Amino acid sequence: MEPGDLSIRRRRLKLTQEQLGGLFGVSGNTIARWERGEAFPAPLMLDKALTCVELEIALGENEFARLLTRLPTEEDLPQRIRPNRDRN
């Protein structure tokens, strides 16, 4: 996946960098760095990103976008299991 591909897919799904970051447990700034090619996701993050791409292809763009809106946000998670943003 090229750095610009992530940005194109994110915008097509009408997600902000912050929203996409929430799905991966990273900040919106981290997503911005990935999109610009200034940083690269860890292998686990890349696996998550590829899984999302595979789901988007399998479900179709509209159904995948609908699925994303049904996922819990970081604020829905108990404090003890929220992503540690200091790692990024």
Q: Is residue 84 part of a domain?
A: no
- Let me know if residue 85 belongs to a domain: no
- Number of folded domains that form the chain: 1
Q: What is the pLDDT of residue 83?
A: 58
The residue behind tokens 């819990």 is 72
Asked whether 53 and 9 are in contact (CB, 8 A), the reply is yes
Q: Which of 41, 29, 42 is nearest to 5 (CA)?
A: 41
| More reliable by pLDDT, 20 or 77 | 20
| Residue 88 is assigned to a structural domain of this protein | no
CATH number of the domain where residue 17 is located: 1.10.260.40
Examine residue 21 and state whether it is found in any structural domain, yes or no.
yes
On whether residue 83 sits in a domain, the answer given is no
Q: Which pTM was predicted?
A: 0.57
The yes-or-no verdict on residue 32 having pLDDT over 90 is: yes
Q: Would you say residue 33 lies in a domain?
A: yes
Whole domain around residue 27: which residue ranges?
3-74
Question: Please, which pLDDT band fits residue 26 given cuts at 50, 70 and 90?
Answer: confident
52: number of CA atoms within 13 Å, CB side?
Answer: 22
With respect to residue 66, please indicate whether it lies within any of the assigned structural domains.
yes
pLDDT in tens, 39-63: 888 777 767 776 776 777 788 878 8
